[in-house]
Structure 1
């Protein structure tokens, strides 16, 4: 009886602690800090069976998140997409389940700010609603920029820090290569199998078949709250005051 009471008391304490997570800082992890690894220079060309999501010419494969009937409003010039924060997030017109994704990005060489206000963006590997709803792979300048480790580049935001810090200097092109396995749900909406992701940052492994606890949350612990199927991929127009970042050479292979 005494043990049963202790177990019940412990459960109540855990539930109370979870409920008490009401600030963004409650889910920030600052240590251990991933060691720094110098990445190589080569990027991958699109394979023959890839779907080109951005070939340098236009945003025909993309649309506004807040206004899906409208085209994506970011800037395209010199084979590069540059974030336009006034236009909000953009996402693919197509939806995907499991896939291999390649995407390149560049933090401006003249980037200013610190912490999370330094080249902040995100790649939502499955967009499941407006705004920042979905599963976020963080984009940020962490070449010489300290922040909480589950919010630095290569992290699954607020869930899983990167294994190492493989960031290049601002002004240099960088890339993510992602293998995404979407979550599956039972007919009653419960989780049959959670989402999993493997990520290479500039050719260096930073997420190794990581199991996700649910979609990204800025405040509180991640959890699966509703079932969903195939989803678009979303790029974030973050609201910080630093210079906007750019993307190029985006392709995907549905698996």
Structure 2
């Protein structure tokens, strides 16, 4: 059975148990399946997180991964306060695929093209929102819902799955053109630096951050927004 078939079988329903503290959900190891398909291997994809090592990651403005992020039964998890997590490498043009699951009422985010010049990755990088739309109060703001280009572009539909399920992400960054996909449907599309993008920027919360959206190469990252979140099967394909 191929990795893709295994991911399909295991990727629908999210299983967790409660830890000894009684409230912190812990993922079941059967959920944490990572690996490239044969087609992905032959077309230039590689793993950024394979379920066994955090060597390709470090905490924001730190040399290594601090205790706020960990491998939990084979998934990358936010397990305590640790600030944003970022890739050691920087990427310019690429396709990124991964899957995320959020705890009930949880909030996180996926950053691209960020550097370390600000207090968080949010000061320079674009964020694809990760959210439990059913229970988190941010869902009342359309541009803050799961799949949105955070505070900039509103998805025209809700393709997210709630806490208890895995969500599939595909991000394409090719020159100035960027696309966010969630569960097989596009949720945001924009041209970096275009007049349309600048108009969105002027209406956003980022106007006090002069480097925001200015980078065409940067780190990939995950936001620490205080809530438990899991990521698996993180893979990338660099484009010319």
For residues 203-252 of structure 1, the C-alpha deviation after alignment (integer angstroms, 9 at most, x for no partner) is 12222x3234379897354886485452110110013xxx4111110000
**Structure 2 equivalent of residue 192 of structure 1:** none
Matched residue SS, 2:81:
helix
Choose from 108, 120, 127 the match for 2:107: 120
Counterpart of 1:4 in structure 2 is none
3-state SS, counterpart of residue 93 of structure 1: strand
The two structures, once aligned, show a CA RMSD in angstroms of 3.0
Tell which structure's C-alpha radius of gyration is larger: 1
Structure 1 counterpart of 2:191, from 195, 211, 214: 211
Partner in structure 1 of residue 228 of structure 2: 244
| Residue 133 (structure 2) aligns with | 142
Task: Describe the superposition over 1:32-83 as per-residue Cα deviations: whole angstroms up to 9, x where unpaired.
Answer: xxxxxxxx96x9963112121110111111011131x223541202220111
Name stretches of at least 5 consecutive residues in structure 2 with no aligned partner: 1-10, 13-32
Contact 2:49 2:234 in 1 (8 A): yes
Pair 167,144 (structure 1): closer, same or farther in 2 beyond 3 Å: farther
Kindly indicate whether residue 148 of structure 2 is the aligned counterpart of residue 155 of structure 1: yes
The unaligned stretches of length 5 or more in structure 1 are 1-39, 112-117, 183-194
Distance 1:222 1:154, change over 3 A: farther
1:176–1:222 CA distance, 2 compared to 1 (3 A): farther
Residue 65, structure 1, aligned to residue 60, structure 2: yes
Offset from partner CA, 1:72-128 (integer Å, 9 cap, x none) = 5412022201113421111000110011000111112xx1xxxxxx31111011112
Q: Give, in angstroms, the shift of residue 180 of structure 1.
A: 1.2
* Partner secondary structure for residue 246 of structure 1: strand
